[in-house]
Structure 1
Amino acid sequence: MQQNGLKLAYTFAVLNAVIIGFSFFFTKVALGHAGPLDTLTYRFAASFAVMSIPVAFGWVKISYRGKPVLKALLLAAMYPLGFFTLQVFGLQHATSAEGGILYSFTPVVTMIIASIFLKETTTLLQKLCIFLSVFGVVFIFIMKGGSLHLSNMTGIVLLFLTCLAFAGYSVLARSLSSHFSPAELSYLMMGIGFAVFLITSLTGHVASGTLGDFLQPLQSGTFILSAVYLGVIASLVTTLTSTYILSKIEASLMSVFTNLSTIVSIGAGAVLLGEDITVYHWIGSLLIIAGVIGTNWLGRKKAKASAKAALPVPLSTSSK
């Protein structure tokens, strides 16, 4: 039974990488019709509305009584609030290539934070595999002409803080998985995200006298489709599955899967936008895949060795 749970967790981890990889495309489409804050508002409106249906009908049971709600609120402050706010303003002061390079360091940051707060340990080979996956992403962006420019220091700092926000979310979500169900955490996070981004967006429109522009994106079927994908698939589904994953495997092992989204975004760009795939794309993708497989294979090998070592030693009986 435990083995089936691990298989499902790894399946969800790959699925999340695929979903996030396509989310870059849908985000570009949505931002062509609405500003960043309006896009985030509609994104979380869709996710909160969809999840409210089974909650309202009692199909999904939600209860926060006697549970560490303050920690859950801190979780929501890290993701989605902190992560997306820092990302939006970070990309206003930096390039998307810089964002991709910095986001690739999320597994490294997660590994460090998880070792401090969750006492998770990784072997030297696992650390090397994590760095291999990071190098694969960085290699692709550098070969595309991307680099970090000190003139964009404000954006670089904000984008690096998104790594801290996501790493903090991964670590805290793993510790809260024993108190909350995936649905309870996800519903709280989606609700808070919707409320805060809605208030922020409407306040900005009122201040600038553009309140009429708030509903304008809904005239586009393309925007609605993008918002539904970003809200329901890329936010709600990934949050539900991430919470389940973190209840089964270590935060440092899950975080390395985020770099697979780079491979998916390359494939999505080739199929949907007609972008070219070059030799360096293949090399970088192979490095990423090798790093992800190596990190988790070594992790399972370490877990089996630990479980075997923990087994009680049978007492020897002498024959009479």
Structure 2
Amino acid sequence: MVRSYILLLFCVTCWGSNFVFGSILIHEFPPLLLSAIRLSATSLTLFIYVRLAKKLGNVVRRDFMLLIPLGIIGTLCNQAAFFTGLQTVDATTASLILSLAPITVAVLAAVFLKEALTKQMVAGSVTAIVGIFFVVGKSENMQLSIGLLFIFLAMLTFAISIIFMRKLTERIDPFTATVYSTLIGSGMVIPVAVIKEPLSQVSPHLWAWALLLGTAVIMQGVCTLIWNVQLTKVGAGKAAVFLNLQPFAAMLVGFLLLGTPITWVQAVGSLLIVGGVIVATVQRRNKADGLTKPLGKAQSLSKS
């Protein structure tokens, strides 16, 4: 069990670091091309794993009624919004905003899936929202900008993709849904990126390509495979608690690599946000055994 916890912590640290590496790469690649290249590398990693492990389940025609919107919203729109936002929003603030996704999922599930919205969820949501206003409102360079709106859009599309994933995994296993949605999303992002952003805009630096491909394979490919395996061993409820550590990982890595200062405002705001998310979702997630983290969303994800 200790080994599983260490591996989960490794995954969360990588996903938190992904915000920082994304903020570096966005200055070397246009947003859509960055997404397209990363998703291509991730898809190749998953495809190789599927061929070797032969664990991919079957899908039928009606499954694509959810897989296609999942690819559009959860991959194309999410990745475009995430990397566009990172052009002007620092990694720590982006990770804190995206940490609101579980609460947004709870609200969407209450509206569209008729799941109960408890007093505990409301109290946690209010606490987390206060934390967001604390971080965004008090930071001198973080007025309500277009970059912040894109990060909020990335968070919203991620939450919507969770709802689609939840309905989809009623019929097929989470890993199969993840692989198909990633491949479909990649197929949508690549042509849009090539049309909208000339290939001449990509970075000529070898280090940038190494960082891009490394983060795609390790953070979006390998970590997702590790997460799915360990999820079956410790349960979704316990694993979900680790996801709340992503903002702290982003904050620490941003400080170590970029020298981004950690202010008392961010520290207090992050505690309010993460604390609110835990209060709002811990009971609900404990009941949701079997829910897996979708791949590549702003974490990506992530997820972006």
TM bin (shorter chain): 0.7 to 0.9
Which one of the candidate residues 250, 257, 268 is aligned to 1:283? 268
* C-alpha contact (below 8 Å) 1:16/1:238 kept by paired residues: yes
* C-alpha contact (below 8 Å) 2:23/2:86 kept by paired residues: no
Which one of the candidate residues 292, 296, 307 is aligned to 2:277? 292
User: 1:160-205: CA deviations, max 9, x gaps?
Assistant: 4333312211111112112222221222222123222221222235
Mapped to 2, the partners of 1:60 and 1:11 lie a distance apart of 25
**Greater shift after overlay, 56-65 or 174-183?**
56-65
- 1:313 paired residue number: none
- 2:80 paired residue number: 85
* 1:25-40 map, 5 Å: 25-40=20-35
Gaps of 5+ in 2: 289-304
* C-alpha contact (below 8 Å) 2:70/2:161 kept by paired residues: yes
Which TM-score applies when normalising by structure 1? 0.70
Aligned residues with identical type, % of pairs:
22
1:224 aligned to 2:209?
yes
User: Match of 1:87, SS?
Assistant: helix
Return closer, same or farther for 1:257/1:32 CA change in 2, 3 Å cut-off. Answer: same
Q: Which AA in structure 2 matches 1:177?
A: T
User: 1:232-276: CA deviations, max 9, x gaps?
Assistant: 344345666489979x769xx96x976643222111112222333
**Greater shift after overlay, 292-301 or 113-122?**
292-301
- 1:264 paired residue number: 249
**Greater shift after overlay, 71-80 or 274-283?**
274-283
Which one of the candidate residues 9, 18, 40 is aligned to 1:45? 40
* C-alpha contact (below 8 Å) 1:136/1:284 kept by paired residues: yes
Bigger-Rg structure (1/2): 1
User: Match of 1:280, SS?
Assistant: helix
* 1:121-160 map, 5 Å: 121-149=116-144, 152=145, 158-160=150-152
Return closer, same or farther for 1:13/1:161 CA change in 2, 3 Å cut-off. Answer: farther
Return closer, same or farther for 1:112/1:242 CA change in 2, 3 Å cut-off. Answer: farther
Q: Which AA in structure 2 matches 1:31?
A: I
- 1:311 paired residue number: none
Report the RMSD for the aligned CA atoms in angstroms: 3.8
The alpha-carbon deviation at position 44 of structure 1 amounts to: 0.6
* 1:1-320 map, 5 Å: 17-57=12-52, 59-65=54-60, 68-89=63-84, 95-96=89-90, 103=98, 105-149=100-144, 152=145, 158-204=150-196, 210-211=198-199, 213=200, 217=203, 220-236=205-221, 241=227, 260-299=245-284
Return closer, same or farther for 1:195/1:261 CA change in 2, 3 Å cut-off. Answer: same
Gaps of 5+ in 1: 304-320
Return closer, same or farther for 1:279/1:249 CA change in 2, 3 Å cut-off. Answer: same
**Greater shift after overlay, 98-107 or 38-47?**
98-107
Which TM-score applies when normalising by structure 2? 0.74
Return closer, same or farther for 1:258/1:281 CA change in 2, 3 Å cut-off. Answer: same
* C-alpha contact (below 8 Å) 1:182/1:244 kept by paired residues: no
The alpha-carbon deviation at position 292 of structure 1 amounts to: 3.5
Mapped to 2, the partners of 1:145 and 1:200 lie a distance apart of 35
